[in-house]
Structure 1
Amino acid sequence: MALVLVTGAAGGLGLDTANALADEGHEVVVHVRNRARLTEAGDTARWEGVVTGDLAEPDEIRGVARQASGFGRFDTVIHNAGVMNRPEDVTVNTVAPYTLTALMEKPGRLVYLSSSMHRSGSTDLRRLTSGSASYDDTKLWVTALALAFASRWEGTTSHAVDPGWVPTRMGGRGAPDDLTAGHQTQVWLATHPDATPGTGGYWYHQRVQTPHPAAQDEEFQARLIETLEQYTGVSLD
């Protein structure tokens, strides 16, 4: 069985992902913003552990990394936490996944939540540091990070997942995609032995899709990582 961390697991796709993994018998550590949100996460006794922290706050991101590191090396980390059209989009959607990845021991597998909207994102990284980034920008950047990490560390695979436009609190009741399918790819990538490609995939409902060209551009990936290193003061290696 695998030891898996799921961020943003108090509700929505994060909770669905955590529940599905626990149902399969895996040891699941869930991240929530604060302890009060645990009441929304069902039977907390089923979790291997809980880490707390607001991923919109840089100091708390580091705190989440410290708490998670107390469980040892994870087999899989699923970077699910996200917000949309809020001032903290860039911090939660891009800076937090980067910082957690940089500070934690490298797991066997990394899975990052993207969005089809990443295809409308900008490659102008001045937006990252100026506070003018859109949701689409942040999802392009986290997709590029996922694909950059795919070849960076021996023994660690990395993928990006578009869960679809599903009827969660973020997606809204009228979202047309299937809610169950929204978490199945993450669960599959977290535990399945033979996903193809083995690393560096951009997935939608267990099928590989073609992402924004910049997400696969090694030069853009390098510029993005350098920008995040300077912005956060956290080196990747």
Structure 2
Amino acid sequence: MNHKTRRILVTGSADGLGRAAAQSLLSAGYEVVVHARNPDRATSLRPLLDRGADIVVGDFTDRGAVRRIAQKLNDAKPPDAVIHNAGVWSGPAVMPVNIIAPYLLTALLREPRRLVYLSSGSHFGGHPHPSLAGVDWRGEHAGSYADSKLFVTALAAAVARLRPGVLSNAVDPGWVPTKMGGPNAPDDLELGHRTQEWLATSDDSQALTTGGYWYHRQRQPPHEAVHDQAFQDRLLEALARETGVAIRPT
């Protein structure tokens, strides 16, 4: 399959790592679709729109909004690659934003050739529940950030297994000084967005691999549950029941 990338969706790109990635990709000559949670946040993206970026707007805590974004992209010009960057650290939006939204976009978009999911070193603290029936997918209570990042890392690996023609990887960007990470975070902000850009665009042999968990362009071993097929299957079944949409193998 041709994995050449021209058009890239970067979710959660109003600030932080998402904005840095979108700016860098625009400068490199790619078509970029930026995403903001609401119209007020979208105004901050005007400098990128003036440079040629397209935009989608929708709150990822609202499943209907995620579906509308997917439909809008499918009806226009679907992306060749998606950097699933949007995320929240705490509160009731953790599961809806960190795992439900990327799952829905993965299931609904007309198969981008490259998928990059933002994970975290915190995913090692997540729990691969024997049963996922009790997980608060709707965000009625505060969710576990570590669990959400374990789930999205396992989602990346599951998509790599089920869709061998798609390059699907997860990235730990490090603890970087963004609004989420805080001003005293010790990692390098510049390095924090380069790996996901590389995986979304590069023809390097390493970047053309799939099913990886990456930190600063180095493939790392993830939580042992990530590549446990039984856990992946339980996760996908739970998400399909919850959303009414299944990820189809290809």
| Superposition TM-score, scaled by structure 2 size | 0.91
- Equivalent residue for 2:157, pick from 114, 128, 147: 147
State the 1:71 CA deviation: 3.2
Residue 41 (structure 2) pairs with residue 31 (structure 1): no
The verdict on how the C-alpha distance between 1:9 and 1:116 changes in structure 2, with shifts beyond 3 A counting, is same
The equivalent residue for 2:218 is 207
The equivalent residue for 1:7 is 11
| 5+ long unaligned stretches in structure 1 | none
CA RMSD of aligned residues (A): 1.5
Distance 1:44 1:72 in 2: 16
Does the aligned pair in 1 maintain the 2:36–2:57 contact within 8 Å? yes
Distance 2:29 2:227 in 1: 34
State the 1:75 CA deviation: 1.4
Amino acid at match of 1:73: P
The equivalent residue for 1:104 is 109
Q: Deviations over 1:84-122 (max 9, x none)?
A: 111110000000000011011001100000000000001
Residue 117 (structure 2) pairs with residue 117 (structure 1): no
What's the secondary structure of 1:215's corresponding residue? coil
Q: Deviations over 1:190-216 (max 9, x none)?
A: 110124261011000110111000011
- Please say which of residues 150-159 and 85-94 is displaced more in the overlay: 150-159
Distance 2:110 2:128 in 1: 29
State the 1:80 CA deviation: 0.4
- Equivalent residue for 1:190, pick from 189, 192, 200: 200
Distance 1:21 1:168 in 2: 19
Q: Deviations over 1:140-183 (max 9, x none)?
A: 00000001111212421100000000000000000000000000
Does the aligned pair in 2 maintain the 1:202–1:208 contact within 8 Å? yes
The equivalent residue for 1:91 is 96
The equivalent residue for 1:64 is 69
Distance 2:65 2:42 in 1: 18
- Which runs of structure 2 are paired with 1:13-24 in the superposition (5 Å)? 13-24=17-28
- Equivalent residue for 2:232, pick from 221, 229, 232: 221
State the 1:127 CA deviation: 2.2
Distance 2:118 2:135 in 1: 20
Distance 2:52 2:178 in 1: 22
State the 1:40 CA deviation: 2.0
Amino acid at match of 1:104: L
- Please say which of residues 110-119 and 154-163 is displaced more in the overlay: 154-163
The verdict on how the C-alpha distance between 1:103 and 1:130 changes in structure 2, with shifts beyond 3 A counting, is closer
State the 1:188 CA deviation: 0.5
How many pairs does the alignment contain? 237
State the 1:128 CA deviation: 4.1
| 5+ long unaligned stretches in structure 2 | none
- Which runs of structure 2 are paired with 1:36-51 in the superposition (5 Å)? 36-41=40-45, 42-51=47-56
State the 1:39 CA deviation: 2.7
| Superposition TM-score, scaled by structure 1 size | 0.95
